[in-house]
Each structure stands twice: as C-alpha cells, then as structure tokens.
Amino acid sequence: MIEFLKEINIIDYSNQKIQKLAMSLSVDCETDTQIAKNCFEYVRDSINHSGDYKNNITTCKASDVLEYKTGWCYAKSHLLAALLRANNIPVGFC
C-alpha cells in the first residue's frame, strides 16, 4: 500500500493548504469511509469542472486545483487523491 500513499508531483499533499483542508474534512469522522465521503463531496461541490464553467485555466497539480478552484476530471481526481493520501487513505488511479 506504500505506493498508494506516496507524494508525487501532481499529488502534492504536503502543500499546507491541502493539509489544512484534509484535516478539516476529517474532523469528527470515525471511519475512513466518512473521511473519503467528505473529501469526495468537497471536490465534487467546491471545485468547478473547467469545461462546464468555461474556465480558461487548465490545472493538473492538486495544489493548483485547490488554489484556482477549477479542473478537468483528471485534475479534480488529483486533488481528491491528495486529500485522501493526506488522511493516510491509500488511493491509486486506473
């Protein structure tokens, strides 16, 4: 599972803003499932899909997605992965 917890360039979960958000999304959660649900709903509801909102910004790295609050599907998944990995929940891509 170590591979699925690693920080890589696009999953930069040591970023302070990602760390702060990840911790706030896990407050009062008793299970990883609750944390994962909170993280998923945050990304779904708080990050605009670039195509739907006609944003001129293309993000990729998780911290950029969080900063600009926009991303294509793949970029939103990078932020979700970063939030989960910051909470020590293994996540991969397929």
| pLDDT tens, the chain, 94 aa long | 899 999 999 999 999 999 999 999 999 999 999 999 999 999 999 999 988 888 789 999 999 999 999 999 999 999 999 999 999 999 998 8
Note the pLDDT of residue 52.
87
All structural domains of the chain with their residue ranges: 6-86
Note the pLDDT of residue 32.
98
Q: Where are the alpha helices (DSSP H) in 1-94?
A: 16-26, 32-46, 50-53, 62-68, 73-86
Query: What's the Cα-to-Cα distance from 26 to each of 35, 51, 56, rounded to whole Å?
Result: 5, 29, 32
Contact 42, 25 (CB under 8 A): yes
57 burial level (CB within 10 Å; 0-12, 13-18, 19+): middle
Note the pLDDT of residue 64.
98
Answering whether pTM is above 0.75, one says yes
Contact 82, 10 (CB under 8 A): no
Q: Which token pair is 14?
A: 């040591």
